[in-house]
Amino acid sequence: MGQSSYNVIIFGVWMSTHNDGCRRSLTFPVIALGGFIFLISIIGFLGACKRSVALLWIYLVVLLIVLIAILVFTVLAFIVTNNGSGHTNPGLRYKEYKLNDYSSWFLKQLNNTNNWNRLKSCLVKSEQCRKLSKRYKTIKQLKSAELTPIEAGCCRPPSECGYPAVNASYYDLSFHSISSYKDCKLYKNLRTIKCYNCDSCKAGVAQYMKTEWRLVAIFNVVLFVVLSMVYFVGCCARRNAASYRSKP
């Protein structure tokens, strides 16, 4: 079981190194879970070494609670991430996202003013949008790029607005858009505004969260199977300890 806790912690650390500070929503919980499982494993180890039925009972009860919690979270994660996908546009390699495509839970979280202001502040500080013009020197390079959901939703106006791109981070807003989509009016070229107030930006964050949650849910399925086997071994150890104690 100690190995399982190490794997959980390593997975959490891996998530933290592959995401910036704005998008580590599940990093700390995963690492905390690994640490908690490690503490449980110590109790189980001591119980097995000392043949302590009491310690093994504590170990099994706590492990059962962890298994139930993992199962509940995994089922909810798959339900929450079941909806939502990108929409392709002619001439663009990357996809665009619509907020209403995602689950009501995501909508509630992202439409909460306090939650979104905190995320928006972090996204502005990360300067992801500013870096686009450095990575893609021409409009052709931008259109053929595989932008992340957040870059596609927060750093540029939706394609249906029709604003001509001057470069990867600047659009000609003097063009009169015939679209009634509210994001077209919200987009500004200013570094601190961009499309951070747009639904398309929230949709990009929702898509990122969906991917992150689905990854953790798949990992949890594997973890649940491994811990179930550990739980079975623990039950056997408890019976052996009880038998040893009952001998005259």
Torsion angles phi and psi, residue 7, rounded to 5: -65, -40
Tell me what the mean pLDDT of segment 12-23 comes to. Answer: 57
Position with higher pLDDT, 211 vs 47:
211
Tell me what the mean pLDDT of segment 80-109 comes to. Answer: 90
Highest mean pLDDT among 30-34, 67-71, 238-242: 67-71
Structure tokens belonging to residue 128: 């992801």
| Nearest alpha-carbon partner for 151 in 92, 209, 95 | 95
pLDDT at 144: 93
Q: Which residue has the tokens 């015939």?
A: 178
Q: How far is CA 145 from the centre of its chain?
A: 23
Torsion angles phi and psi, residue 108, rounded to 5: -65, -45
The answer to whether the CB of 88 falls within 8 A of the CB of 160 is no
Position with higher pLDDT, 215 vs 21:
215
| Nearest alpha-carbon partner for 26 in 183, 218, 188 | 218
pLDDT band at 174 (very low <50, low <70, confident <90, very high): very high
According to DSSP, residue 156 is labeled: S
- Give the angle subtended at the CA of 76 by the CAs of 12 and 32, to the nearest 5°: 25
pLDDT at 245: 54
Tell me what the mean pLDDT of segment 128-157 comes to. Answer: 92
pLDDT at 7: 60
pLDDT at 228: 87
| Residue 5, pLDDT above cutoff 60 | no
Tell me what the mean pLDDT of segment 14-20 comes to. Answer: 57
pLDDT at 93: 92
| Residue 46, pLDDT above cutoff 80 | no
pLDDT at 27: 61
| Residue 192, pLDDT above cutoff 80 | yes
pLDDT at 190: 94
Contacts of 212 (CB under 8 A, 6+ apart): 15, 19, 23, 25, 26
Q: What is the mean pLDDT of the chain?
A: 83
Position with higher pLDDT, 36 vs 132:
132
pLDDT at 19: 57
How many angstroms separate the Cα of 235 from the Cα of each of 51, 67, 86? 12, 14, 46
The answer to whether the CB of 103 falls within 8 A of the CB of 84 is yes
pLDDT band at 173 (very low <50, low <70, confident <90, very high): very high
User: Where on the phi/psi map is residue 83: left (φ > 0), alpha (ψ -120 to 50), or beta?
Assistant: beta
Q: What SS3 state is found at 183? A: helix
The answer to whether the CB of 248 falls within 8 A of the CB of 115 is no
Q: What is the pLDDT of residues 201-221, one digit of tens each?
A: 999 999 988 888 888 888 888
User: CA 162, CA 189: separation in Å to the nearest integer?
Assistant: 15
Question: The pTM is what?
Answer: 0.80
User: CA 43, CA 54: separation in Å to the nearest integer?
Assistant: 10
| Residue 12, pLDDT above cutoff 70 | no
| Nearest alpha-carbon partner for 102 in 153, 146, 142 | 153
Contacts of 12 (CB under 8 A, 6+ apart): 27, 28, 30, 31, 33, 34
| Nearest alpha-carbon partner for 30 in 64, 60, 74 | 74
Tell me what the mean pLDDT of segment 170-186 comes to. Answer: 92
